């Protein structure tokens, strides 16, 4: 299956509200492909994801990333001292001290500063590139079915890592990329303030390499448990 076929299968089986989103990180030393437009103004990673689920595509160089918290985790931008020390997130009222906020940053997954020079974000159906990760934004019940589709062959449990911040950049992009496993996020303060994600929606990040098998497993689930549970 190509990207368009995978996307159509996901939308058909899961009854997705939006397009699955393909994300690729462009590494230092590689050329930034001129396959989509660069945004006319700086944009956050979370904003690019939410706009791509509605059909837009972007090539976003490091200097066009608006959020230093997300950009620094993705290896695009330096981490400001106020972020590293916890002062920034403490001042937002989300932690009881700088130390508590700093511990969140200390424990986040982050790529080496300057190792990434751009991100490419588009609907999966339009991805003329091999993504690193595919992100789906939808209702909890919809995303639930991606868990049994992941454990269908080998069983086991799905471990989820999340935090009050960085739902798209860390939880949905870097965690699947670095662990090779799906990861769920309830969203975060930043993306809920800066995008149009709805109160009843959450996110899942899926390693692209696993998607073809996940789709095959979804097809099996759709003919049995999914129809019995959903009634369709």
The mean pLDDT value for 177-197 works out to: 97
| Tens-digit pLDDT profile for residues 141-159 | 999 999 999 999 999 999 9
Per-residue confidence (pLDDT) for residue 64, from 0 to 100: 98
Per-residue confidence (pLDDT) for residue 174, from 0 to 100: 98
Per-residue confidence (pLDDT) for residue 231, from 0 to 100: 78
| Tens-digit pLDDT profile for residues 72-105 | 999 999 999 999 999 999 999 999 999 999 999 9
Q: What's the mean per-residue pLDDT of the chain?
A: 97
**Is the model's pLDDT at 232 over the cut of 80?**
no
**Is the model's pLDDT at 185 over the cut of 90?**
yes
**Is the model's pLDDT at 70 over the cut of 90?**
yes
Note the pTM of the prediction, 2 decimals.
Answer: 0.96
**Ordered DSSP codes for the chain:** --HHHHHHHHHHHHT-SS--EEEEEEETTS----SSPPPSS-B-HHHHHHHHTTT--EEEEGGGB--HHHHHHTTSSPPPHHHHTSHHHHHTTSSSSHHHHHHHHHHS--PPTTSEEEEEEEEGGG--S--SEEEEEE-HHHHHTHHHHHHTTT---------SS-IIIIIIIIHHHHHSS-EEE---HHHHHHS---TT-EEEEEEGGGHHHHHHHHHHHIIIIIHHHH--
The mean pLDDT value for 195-207 works out to: 98
């Amino acid at each position: 299956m190509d990207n368009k076929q995978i996307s159509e299968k996901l939308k058909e089986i899961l009854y997705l509200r939006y397009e699955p989103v393909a994300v690729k990180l462009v590494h230092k030393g590689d050329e930034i492909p001129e396959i989509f437009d660069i945004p006319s103004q700086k944009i956050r990673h979370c904003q690019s994801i939410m706009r791509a689920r509605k059909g837009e595509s972007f090539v976003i160089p490091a200097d066009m990333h608006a959020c230093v918290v997300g950009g620094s985790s993705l290896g695009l931008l330096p981490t400001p001292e106020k972020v590293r020390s916890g002062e920034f997130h403490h001042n937002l009222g989300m932690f009881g001290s700088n130390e508590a906020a700093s511990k969140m940053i200390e424990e986040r997954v982050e790529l080496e500063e300057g190792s990434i020079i751009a991100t490419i974000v588009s609907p999966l159906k339009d991805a003329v590139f091999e993504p690193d990760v595919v992100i789906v934004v939808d209702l909890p019940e919809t995303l639930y079915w991606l868990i049994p589709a992941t454990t269908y062959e080998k069983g086991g449990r799905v471990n989820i890592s999340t935090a009050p911040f960085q739902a798209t950049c860390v939880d949905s992009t870097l965690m699947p990329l670095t662990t090779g496993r799906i990861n769920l996020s309830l969203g975060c303060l930043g993306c809920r303030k800066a995008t149009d994600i709805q109160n009843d929606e959450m996110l899942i990040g899926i390693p692209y390499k696993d998607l073809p098998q996940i789709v095959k497993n979804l097809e099996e689930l759709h003919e049995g448990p999914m129809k019995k549970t959903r009634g369709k």
